[in-house]
Amino acid sequence: MPATDFFPQPTYAASEKVPRVLVAPPRYIQGSGVLGSVGRYLTIINIKRAVVYASARGLAEQGPLLRSSLQDAQISSMDCRFPGECSLEAIDAAVATLAAEQVDCLIAVGGGKCVDAGKCVAYRLGVPVVVVPTLASNDAPCSAVSVVYTPAGVVSAAEFFPDHPAFVIVDTEVVAAAAERYLVAGMGDAMATWYEAKVCLANPKARNVVGARPTVAAAALGEACATTLFAHGLDAGKAVCENRVDDALEQVVEANTLLSGVGFESGGLAAAHGLAGALTSIAAVEKNYLHGEMVAAGVMMQLMLQQEKSEAKRVAEFFAAVGLPVTLAQIGMQRSDVGDLRQIAQETADYMFISNLPFDVSAGMVYAAVLAADELGSEVTESVGDTAYRRVQN
């Protein structure tokens, strides 16, 4: 069993010249109805027996079409239920169930935590993972990294894998059938990609998630996240409200899934994901808000930390228009929660990628940036309103 600090990448000594490295899944497939073609794609890598790893709901909703697609391709399959949290307990339980089953791939069907748990299980079984996201709410599907949580949902570790998912197959009809809130959360996660990659590209000391320098290509994917969202985010939100697939939705699903996934891993992370991870240690936030919503708070904080107030305002106006949180109150916190705010500020300042910023970051600076972002968010809420936020959150 690998330790959770296993890092299957070369590391570079301080004296070495660090190369540019880009990593990505070999095959990304996105379109309306592609769930019915999963079997056809898997024959490319000669799969004969697969396990479908999904929540009870996923097994009921996507299972039938997926199983018939596998059958049509002469691939036998079995089901394994994801219990709801990507914890070491859940991963070990699935490995114990599947160890003697001789499957030659694991198909993880679901949201970010199911996908991340599926990567961990497949790695331990020594088989490729195929990721079939049912939501475009996060940047998990395309990376070779999983975030592992405690059974209570607090971020506890990151696992790095030597291989990427063999396929990422996104059925936009499935994504369009989900609640608007998931797509919108994915926009928060995707927007961060650009601001974090931009920092890493500009700072020669910065490292991406595989410990190397980012390529121009990875930063360009990050930038494409932001331009795609500003251009199509609002329309994509409307499409998913009406459970309809259109070009705007296709563009944003790609931004949230492919561009954001490859963009964060190869482009690099900075403060936005640091704050998002820290927020999971506040139980009321973790229980009620999605990863992408916490990352949205992180983007605003990072831009304030960088003293980029006009860019922060532009982003906050977009967030408020699509329904992402822009104030502390909108992620269930208050300016008066001094103890909690100090705690998340300290955790953010200790984040493994915080040093990608070109200046030293103290807990006090994060604390001040969180309050400044909240102030800006309140001003933006006054002008843009919170109708979208309230609709998205119900």
Positions that interact with Zn ion (CB under 5 A): 139, 189
What is the phi/psi pair of residue 158, to 5°? -120, 140
What is the nearest approach in angstroms of Zn ion to the Cβ of residue 119?
15
Across 349-370, b (16+ Cβ under 10 Å) vs e yields bebebbebbeeebebebbbebb
* Least distance between Zn ion and beta carbon 367 (Å): 22
CA distance 279 to 287: 11
Tell me, letter by letter, the H, E, C secondary structure of 309-335.
HHHHHHHHHHHHHHCCCCCCHHHCCCC
Task: Report, in Å, the least distance between residue 380 CB and Zn ion.
Answer: 22
Q: Which is nearer to Zn ion, 245 or 276 (CB)?
A: 276
d(CA 248, CA 251): 5
Nearer residue to Zn ion within complex by CB, 189 or 286: 189
| Residue with smaller CB distance to Zn ion, 139 or 159 | 139
User: 3-state DSSP helix/strand/coil percent for the chain, to nearest 5?
Assistant: 55, 10, 35
For the bound state, the minimum distance from the C-beta of residue 257 to Zn ion, rounded and expressed in Å, comes to 11
Least distance in angstroms from the C-beta of 120 to Zn ion: 17
Which amino acid is residue 15, in one-letter code? S
Which lies closer to Zn ion via its Cβ, residue 39 or residue 141? 141
Pick between residue 70 and residue 140 the one whose CB is nearest to Zn ion: 140
Q: What are phi and psi of 116, to 5 degrees?
A: -65, -45
Nearer to Zn ion among residue 171 and residue 189 (C-beta): 189
Contact 65, 36 (CB under 8 A): yes
Q: How far apart are CA 130 and CA 122, in angstroms?
A: 9
The CB-of-178 to Zn ion minimum distance in angstroms stands at: 18
